[in-house]
Structure 1
Amino acid sequence: MSFFRALAAEFQKLVTTRMWWLLAILLAVYVAFMAGGLGALFSSLTTDPEAAAASGGTGLPSDVELAPLLYSFASSIGYVFPLLLGALAVTSEFRHKTLTPTFLAAPHRQVVLSAKFVSQLLAGAVLGAIGYAVSVGSAAAALSAFGLDTGLDSSDTWALIGRGILAMALWGAIGVGVGVLVTNQVAAVVIVIAFTQFVEPILRFAASLSDVTASIGRFLPGAASDALVGASFYTVASFGGAETLEWWQGGLVLFGIAVVTTVIGGATTWRRDVS
């Protein structure tokens, strides 16, 4: 089977199951709630001096633009969704034992793995486009309702959105690497959720307490993703003191993680016998 036939097969597997659109719906709801809700909150504090004074200000540094910060919620909190989808694309094959017919149709296993990698890059980009459409729409509506600048006439805003979609695409590819390394579906899901929601935020906070560890912590995947996008509520709220990577460096770190995890998994678990 050629690479393009394998890629077409991966897309067919993806679109004929419910998982991708269930995750897309959850992503949209989650991002709309966070970007729209916090957009309304921060906008009201910005336009109401008395309320802002009572709450100690907006809670944002004076040099932080509100619109890009709200738009970036699609990736800063939503990256777990393409990561999960990428991991499930691999672990589902092991769980439902569909790898056997897959490998019978495509004896070259690396072709199948490469097709999964590319398909999840594209699927992650689609989730990214959905997430940013929702975050920009809900946040811009909140900003407009309070008469604040949405920044949609700025090329910098659209560049941020483009980099955010790229970050989500790379997270989908990282998910493939995670799925190949941890073939048990339950274990992979638990690891993804635990690391993204608990372990890495704690590591990033701990790293920010020292200049030495901060220079290391910026290479964590979540920190690299935020650097690629160029804005993140996590960076402003908890880790603003740490210097971040350049956007292109963050992208290279994410791509490197995706490639390394996939290559290691392809050289180990992917080569084992399946039944």
Structure 2
Amino acid sequence: MTSFLRSIAAEFAKIFTTRLWWILALVLFGYIGLLAGGLAALFSGLQSGVISPDTVNTGGGALSGFGSLPPIIYSFASSVGYVFPVLIGALATTGEFRHQTLTPTFLAIPRRGVVLGAKTVTLLLVGAAFGLIALAASVGIGGGVMSAFGVDALLLDSETWLLVARSVLAMALWAAIGVGLGVLVPNQVASIVIVLAFTQFVEPLLRLAASFLEVTAKIGNFLPGAASDALVGASIFTVMNPAGAAPLDWWQGGLVLLGYALVATVIGYAVSWKKDVS
């Protein structure tokens, strides 16, 4: 237990003694704040009548498929911001291979499973912190904009805070997935390319293609992004699903995300983490 706690302390030191974490945190806050605030202003303006539907070519039915607006706005923290904890998880792991810091780490703590477990726990906590930062932007800015337009931001609704809690959990699990990916693909450039390509292009296209048929939509529910949206309980991507296939329950979505993290980490441990590093 002592070596595990020492490893966790060392992992926190590795992260917080660099500029990477706060640069990603600032970009995350700005990105989610801009997106949540902008779309909250657009949809709140349409809903309150301040903005005419004709000015944005909606034909008067802009919000008919969106249901309650606040959960959609707040869920941007995870449905869009999840790429950031994945990145920091992958970079925290691949940086060990790139800069050969694994060598002194393994000399100090030769139990490699302990080191990897400590890194995973550390990044789970860092991912949760990133979730809080993203939610400060989506709930703080998005909720403020909706209130300014006279739309109930539902900040006193217990379901809102359950969504917030599940969003934090989703972001933590995404960071663990990033760790697993970094162990599985220790080349830092390759990991970054995979994260960006999959999250920004491949999975959105797969989800769109799968959504047109109910059978494929059910399969698409097990994609990591869809599982994350199910865990959180709201997403702009879910309400745009034309097939109307029921998403996974929130706990099922959480288990699917956890499964991705475990599979990637276990395979990565077997194929790269146990190899000689210098």
Count of aligned positions: 275
Name the structure 1 match of 2:25.
Answer: 24
Q: Secondary structure at the match of 1:94?
A: helix
Determine the C-alpha separation between the residues in 2 that align with 1:211 and 1:55. Answer: 27
Shift of 1:133: 1.0
Deviation for aligned residue 1:76? 0.4
Match of 1:135 in 2: 138
Q: Gapped runs of 5+ residues in structure 2?
A: none
Q: 1:188 aligned to 2:191?
A: yes
Match of 1:88 in 2: 91
Shift, 1:60, TM fit: 3.0
**Aligned residue number for residue 116 of structure 1:** 119
Q: Distance in 2 between matches of 1:71 and 1:151?
A: 11
**Secondary structure in 1 matching 2:52:** helix
Counterpart of 1:2 in 2: which secondary structure? helix
C-alpha separation in 2, matches of 1:239 and 1:99: 47
CA distance in 2, matches of 1:2, 1:79: 31
- Call closer, same or farther: CA 1:8–1:240 in 2, change over 3 Å: farther
Q: 1:218 to 1:240 in 2, by over 3 A?
A: same
SS of equivalent residue, structure 1 residue 17: coil
CA gap 1:98/1:156 in 2 versus in 1, 3 angstroms: same
Q: CA deviation at 1:63?
A: 6.1
Matched, 1:126 2:129: yes
Q: Residues 252-275 of structure 1, C-alpha deviation per residue, up to 9 Å, x if partnerless?
A: 100111111101111111011111
> What value does the CA root-mean-square deviation take over the aligned residues?
1.4
TM-score when normalising by structure 2: 0.96
1:94-123: CA deviation from partner (whole Å, max 9, x where unpaired) = 111111111111111111100111000000
* Identity level (%): 61
Q: Which amino acid aligns with 1:254?
A: L
Report how far residue 240 of structure 1 moved. Answer: 6.4
| Alignment match of 2:214 (pick from 211, 214, 226) | 211
CA drift at 1:49 = 7.3
Question: Residue in 1 aligned with 2:265?
Answer: 262
Query: Following the alignment from structure 2 to structure 1, what is the Cα–Cα distance between the partners of residues 76 and 262?
Result: 25
Give the conservation status (yes or no) of the 8 Å contact 1:42–1:58: no
More displaced, 237-246 or 131-140?
237-246
Which of 150, 155, 160 is the equivalent residue of 1:157? Answer: 160
Uncovered stretches (5+) of structure 1, i.e. residues with no partner: none
Match of 2:35 in 1: 34
